[in-house]
Amino acid sequence: MKNQEQGRQSFSKHLTQNEVKDRIIFFSYTDVAPFFEFQEGRLFFMDVTDSLGKVWTFTGTFYANPDVGKYVSIKWPQFSSEKGLKANDEVIFIERSRREGNRPWKNFKFVIKRKIRLFGQNIWGELMV
């Protein structure tokens, strides 16, 4: 998805209960393919800056499974437990810049949104954690 305000590319999803519990997030290959050059079974790395300016490194792996298709898993155990993520939170990765080097390494801004009820209306607010 294209982020028009910042002129950057982003991908996002709503977390499932299993993703929160297992501290691994899954994306369809088509959602993240524009951001990485994948090799099956090989790790890729992401530097992710949270809303407080702290930089985290996530690792991911691309898989091609004949039963479920192509997908990507991203591991973030310390981040997910420290941030108190919940099922149905929306996580957004906004591409920033490519980090130099011989590894497929990217830099993203990370936004967490949670649905809250305010004055009888459901709204999505950004978590500043």
pLDDT of residue 110: 92
Write out pLDDT tens, residues 38-95: 777 788 888 999 989 999 999 989 988 888 888 999 999 899 888 999 999 999 999 9
Asked whether residue 25 carries a pLDDT value surpassing 50, the answer given is yes
Both structure tokens of 70:
């192509």
Residues spanned by the domain of 38 = 2-126
Residues above pLDDT 90, as percent of the chain: 41
15-31 average pLDDT score: 93
Identify the CATH number of the domain in which residue 109 sits. Answer: 2.40.330.10
Cα(56)–Cα(47) distance, integer angstroms = 6
**Distance set, CA 99 to CA 15, 16, 31, 54 (Å):** 27, 30, 21, 17
Instruction: Give me the pLDDT at residue 15, please.
Output: 96
CA distance 58 to 26: 13
Q: Is the pLDDT score of 23 beyond 60?
A: yes
Facing residues of 124 across strands? 115
Nearest Cα to 35, choosing from 87, 90, 92, 83? 92
Is the whole-model pTM more than 0.85? no
Q: Which of 21-35, 44-58, 82-96, 104-118 has the lowest mean pLDDT?
A: 104-118
How many domains is the chain partitioned into structurally? 1
Quote the tokens at residue 69.
């298709």
Distance separating alpha carbons of residues 126 and 129, to the nearest angstrom? 9
What integer best gives the mean pLDDT of the chain? 84
* pLDDT of res. 116: 84
More confident residue, 87 or 127: 87
